[in-house]
């Protein structure tokens, strides 16, 4: 790869100082399979010991690199092997898994990371005993810990959609909403369900350390919505060719900055570099918004006609630029459209331009799916399961990653404000289609994989 020149350094400094360029997360993935033990006490001890020994320098190294390179590194996080696998031999009840979640939380606190991901189960085709126990434990585990994040793989293009698990997770989300109702149901912000989840995603709440990964690995997520917005604002009225080239070149520069940080973190921690995830992930900060990029592209608000096409352009060009700049681009790379974490999205909801149905359409071309959406607290579990099923179907048929992270805000209705704090932001509660889907989601079994999944 060619050396970084002076002009590139100056451009990068401009992106950092004025356009909110940052490294959103350095995530250390840790394989916990060698911690397995049939005794729960020994298992918890093994897990805490390995997370602490592998991750004790993560925060200090991240801070050092941020100061030396002048690139803000917002989060330092850990992802672990899906805990349903790790706990299978020792955990006999949901309460046993909750104890394991508490051990993870204590380890995360000890090493100073803000989140630890991997309290997860992969049940795309069916749930084993341990998977079912972990899923049953999720409401209690996430309501009694601060840093633990959970994800459940419910569907894939190869396996189809596990509708029994979809129905179950609708109920678990409702339970978690009630258990954390005194905090605007923030526990639900730490839980995401997936179709086609990647093994190397560094972003929470969906990060876990896949079984295809090395014993430990460094994955880095870079984010630069403000940088892309500024670049797009300089080509008003230009053709789509010019627009696409502008986004692609900007994504290349952002990825180069992330590549520099990733390689240095790998060297200092003595851990292999995994992937660079270039995802335009917004924050509640002014000027750090995906919705504002769409407005610069010519839309009055995100959600206006043309929004899906504009987002498709953004997602594709970000990936093309990123792939040019790093040999190992992976994870979810593209564009995220969380509502509560993006001031422009919140403004679009308040203006009436953005609805749940339009967001669902936009997820067919973005990196993830329905993300950080506040819905009425009295939304039925079956309706939540129906929302999940629709999103899983989009991912399954289109052979892409999709996800759902909705927050039914206990005690609040349409138009009320929900505040989640920090990078999670806040959002008005959005309306949900009130017509019943219970007869559909309660049928049981699996929705088969699509015909184009048979590629062997």
Q: What is the mean pLDDT of residues 59-86?
A: 89
4 or 24, higher pLDDT: 24
31 closest CA partner among 58, 54, 56? 54
Residue 52 structural domain:
24-195
> What tens digit of pLDDT does each residue of 388-409 get?
999 999 999 999 999 999 999 9
Q: What is the pLDDT of residue 169?
A: 97
CATH of the domain at 128: 3.20.70.20
Per-residue pLDDT reduced to its tens digit, 109-168: 999 999 999 999 999 999 999 999 999 999 999 999 999 999 999 999 999 999 999 999
Residues 161 and 47: their CA atoms lie apart, in Å, by 31
272 located within any domain? no
DSSP string, 160-179: EEEHHHHHHHHHHHHHHHHH
- Summarised one tens digit per residue, pLDDT across range 89-99 is 999 999 999 99
101 and 147 Cβ atoms separated by less than 8 Å: no
Closest CA to 216 of 416, 28, 450, 423: 28
Q: Look at residue 382 and tell me if it is in a domain.
A: no
When divided into structural domains, the chain yields a total of 1
Q: Do the domain assignments include residue 287?
A: no
pTM over 0.85: yes
258 domain-assigned: no
pLDDT of residue 296: 93
Flag whether 221 is in a domain: no
Tokens linked to 150 = 């959970």
Residue 347 domain-assigned?
Answer: no
Q: Is residue 265 part of a domain?
A: no
Residue 293 in any domain: the answer is no
Element (H, E) at 148: strand 148-156
């Amino acid at each position: 790869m060619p050396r970084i020149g002076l002009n590139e350094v100056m451009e990068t400094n401009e992106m950092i100082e004025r356009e909110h360029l940052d490294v959103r997360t350095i995530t250390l993935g840790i394989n916990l399979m060698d911690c397995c033990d049939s005794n729960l006490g020994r298992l918890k001890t093994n897990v805490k010991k390995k997370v602490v020994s592998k991750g004790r320098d993560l925060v200090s190294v991240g801070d050092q690199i941020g100061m030396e390179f002048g690139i803000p590194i917002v989060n330092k996080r850990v992802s672990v092997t899906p805990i349903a696998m790790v706990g299978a031999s020792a955990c006999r009840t949901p309460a046993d898994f909750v104890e394991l979640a508490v051990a993870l939380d204590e380890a995360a606190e000890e090493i100073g990371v803000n989140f630890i991901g991997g309290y997860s189960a992969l049940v795309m085709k069916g749930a084993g005993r341990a998977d079912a126990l972990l899923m049953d434990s999720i409401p209690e585990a996430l309501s009694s810990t601060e840093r633990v994040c959970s994800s459940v793989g419910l569907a894939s293009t190869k396996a189809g959609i596990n509708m029994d698990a979809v129905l179950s997770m609708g109920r678990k989300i409702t339970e978690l909403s009630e258990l954390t109702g005194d905090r605007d149901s923030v526990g639900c912000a730490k839980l995401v369900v997936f179709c086609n989840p990647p093994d190397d995603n560094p972003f929470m709440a969906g990060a876990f350390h896949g079984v295809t990964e090395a014993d430990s690995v460094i994955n880095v997520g870079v984010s630069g919505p403000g940088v892309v917005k500024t670049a797009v604002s300089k080509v008003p009225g230009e053709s789509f060719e010019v627009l696409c080239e502008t986004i692609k070149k900007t994504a290349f520069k952002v990825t180069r900055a992330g590549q520099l940080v990733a390689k240095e973190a790998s060297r200092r921690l003595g851990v292999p570099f995994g992937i660079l995830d270039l995802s335009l992930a917004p924050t509640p900060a002014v000027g750090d918004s995906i919705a504002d990029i769409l407005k610069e592209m010519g839309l009055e608000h995100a959600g206006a006609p043309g929004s899906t096409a504009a987002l498709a352009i953004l997602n594709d060009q970000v990936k093309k630029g990123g792939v040019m700049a790093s040999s190992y681009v992976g994870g979810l790379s593209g564009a995220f459209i969380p509502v509560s974490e993006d001031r422009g999205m919140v403004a679009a909801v308040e203006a009436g331009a953005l609805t749940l149905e339009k967001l669902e359409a936009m997820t067919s071309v973005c990196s993830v799916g329905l993300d950080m959406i506040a819905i009425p607290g009295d939304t039925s579990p079956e309706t939540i399961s129906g929302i999940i099923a629709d999103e899983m179907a989009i991912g399954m048929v289109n052979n892409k990653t999709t996800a759902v992270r909705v927050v039914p805000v206990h005690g609040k209705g349409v138009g009320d404000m929900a505040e989640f704090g920090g990078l999670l932001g806040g959002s008005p509660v959005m309306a949900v289609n009130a017509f019943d889907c219970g007869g559909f989601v309660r049928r049981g079994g699996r929705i088969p994989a699509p015909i184009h999944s048979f590629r062997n």
